[in-house]
């Protein structure tokens, strides 16, 4: 059933100009209306849209990349060289939007009940638009920044299999090296059980890879089943054991920083982690992700006709490993769950193949000028709240600039008005939406950060 669209209610006065508010809502809407579902991506029109918007503000722009259908935008305001440089990041691709559970067309960018609804409203055309609007506002002020301001609207973040986005840019365009970067995966307001408040900032990410566990069995005719040696039965056992396995909990220095920032009481690591998880449902979900390596089955492949018991079956897994982990560590965790790999005559005979190299796992320190600016913003904008540093379980393009350039990259775009459950559940889901209040808040924040870091 389609929910009828209604006009937005009047907005409260804001510390930004009315035209700035109109710009960020309009630009986000225009971006959503460009279908950049990945695959196939086709992100060039989105890059062209932002280039045209920034070019109208007098900002130098360039489209770059190896695939003319999947170009990246590089926009730059050149600084005096007296201060640090900063990169504003935002990917132009989105995940596909099957329409079964949507109440609107995913690419219509509908304004409803104070929300902007559409694919990319949360991940992450909202942040890209807010950063572009803040950059344009800075340019219109006529001030020359102390360091370069660079905006990169990159393609292929959601899949990163085509080497056309940030992985290509850091290799082919080394002049993009910046001292600091702002990207996605932080800025959520948490109302804590102890009465406190926290706004999250991502300071790092876990390692990510995918792997195949090939389970071997006895091929045969399905009309004469050998239940003990049926390959699919063994593969299903592998899946069950991976889910049931109790993996070791590792409390890193980053996790201890999070605990200290929250004010976790003294006690054992287990007690402090339990306390942290009880402060907010989002933290309850995040604590295991921050302290364990996850190996999650996501697919089962055999590839034989229905009347043949296959000789092997593949269990495809997504793996998010703790920073510092190796492939050997992951193999050891699999062996602890299902038995030794390549053991002839074992209950389950299998072998592990990594489908892509481990990537990510790089963190940025919290003792920097930009981090202090984030703390000051939270203190002024959300009275009584603390800035909470987290290592996020997902993978973002921050990895590439951290690894290639040594850039200090933080994930932060404040989401203070949108219900957190709505914000998180609709990301990659149906009726993806964000309050327009938060679009304006994001633009305000980025203008605040630019003025504080590189303003004259």
Alpha-carbon distance of 106 to 95, in angstroms, equals: 11
Backbone torsions φ then ψ of 350, nearest 5 degrees? -155, 170
Q: Is 157 a catalytic residue?
A: yes
Q: Is 156 a catalytic residue?
A: no
Catalytic residue among 67, 126, 148, 157: 157
DSSP letter at 119 equals: T
Rounded (10°) angle between helices 369-381 and 436-454: 140
Catalytic residue among 43, 67, 93, 154: 93
CB proximity list for 109: less than 8 A, separation 6 or greater: 28, 29, 30, 32, 33, 116, 117, 118, 121
Alpha-carbon distance of 349 to 338, in angstroms, equals: 10
CA atoms within 13 A on the CB side of 325: 30
Cis peptide before 24 (omega within 30 of 0): no
- Please list the residues that pair with 233 across neighbouring strands: none
CB proximity list for 217: less than 8 A, separation 6 or greater: 229, 230, 231, 232, 233, 234, 309, 310, 311, 312, 313, 349
Active centre residues (catalytic):
93, 157
């Amino acid at each position: 059933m389609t929910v009828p669209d209604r006009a937005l209610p009047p907005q409260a006065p804001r510390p930004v100009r009315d035209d700035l508010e109109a710009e960020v809502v309009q630009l986000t809407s225009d971006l959503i209306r460009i279908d950049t579902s990945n695959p196939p991506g086709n992100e060039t029109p989105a890059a062209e849209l932002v280039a045209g918007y920034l070019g109208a503000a007098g900002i130098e722009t360039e489209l770059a990349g190896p695939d003319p259908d999947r170009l990246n935008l590089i926009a730059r305001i050149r600084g005096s060289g007296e201060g640090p440089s900063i990169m504003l990041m935002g990917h132009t691709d989105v995940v596909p939007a099957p329409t079964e559970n949507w109440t609107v067309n995913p690419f219509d960018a509908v304004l409803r009940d104070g929300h902007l609804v559409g694919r990319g409203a949360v991940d992450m055309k909202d942040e890209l638009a807010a950063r572009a609007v803040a950059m344009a506002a800075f340019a219109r002020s006529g001030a020359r920044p102390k360091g370069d301001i660079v905006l990169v609207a990159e393609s292929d973040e959601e899949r990163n299999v085509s080497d056309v986005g940030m992985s290509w840019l850091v290799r082919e365009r080394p002049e993009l090296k910046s001292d600091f970067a702002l990207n996605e995966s932080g800025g959520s307001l948490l109302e804590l059980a102890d009465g406190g408040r926290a706004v999250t900032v991502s300071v790092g990410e876990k390692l990510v890879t995918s792997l195949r566990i090939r389970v071997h069995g006895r091929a045969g005719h399905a009309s004469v089943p050998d239940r003990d040696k049926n390959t699919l039965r063994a593969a299903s056992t592998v899946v069950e054991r991976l889910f049931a396995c109790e993996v070791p909990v590792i409390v890193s220095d980053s996790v201890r920083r999070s605990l200290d920032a929250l004010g976790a009481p003294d006690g054992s690591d287990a007690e402090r982690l339990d306390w942290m998880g009880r402060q907010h449902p989002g933290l309850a979900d995040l604590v295991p992700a921050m302290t364990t390596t996850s190996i999650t089955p996501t697919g089962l492949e055999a590839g034989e006709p229905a009347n043949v018991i296959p000789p092997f079956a593949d269990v495809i897994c997504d793996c998010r490993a703790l920073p510092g982990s190796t492939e050997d560590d992951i193999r050891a965790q699999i062996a602890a769950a299902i038995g030794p790999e390549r053991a002839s005559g074992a209950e389950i005979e299998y072998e592990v193949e990594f489908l892509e190299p481990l990537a990510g796992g790089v963190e940025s320190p919290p003792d920097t000028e930009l981090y202090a600016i984030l703390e000051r913003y939270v203190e002024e904008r959300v009275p009584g709240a603390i800035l909470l540093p987290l290592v996020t379980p997902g993978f973002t393009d921050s990895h590439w600039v951290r690894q290639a350039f040594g850039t200090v990259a933080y994930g932060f775009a404040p989401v203070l008005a949108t219900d957190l459950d709505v914000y998180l559940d609709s990301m990659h889901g149906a009726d993806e939406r964000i309050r327009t209040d938060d679009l304006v808040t994001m633009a305000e924040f980025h203008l605040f950060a630019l003025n504080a870091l590189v303003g004259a």
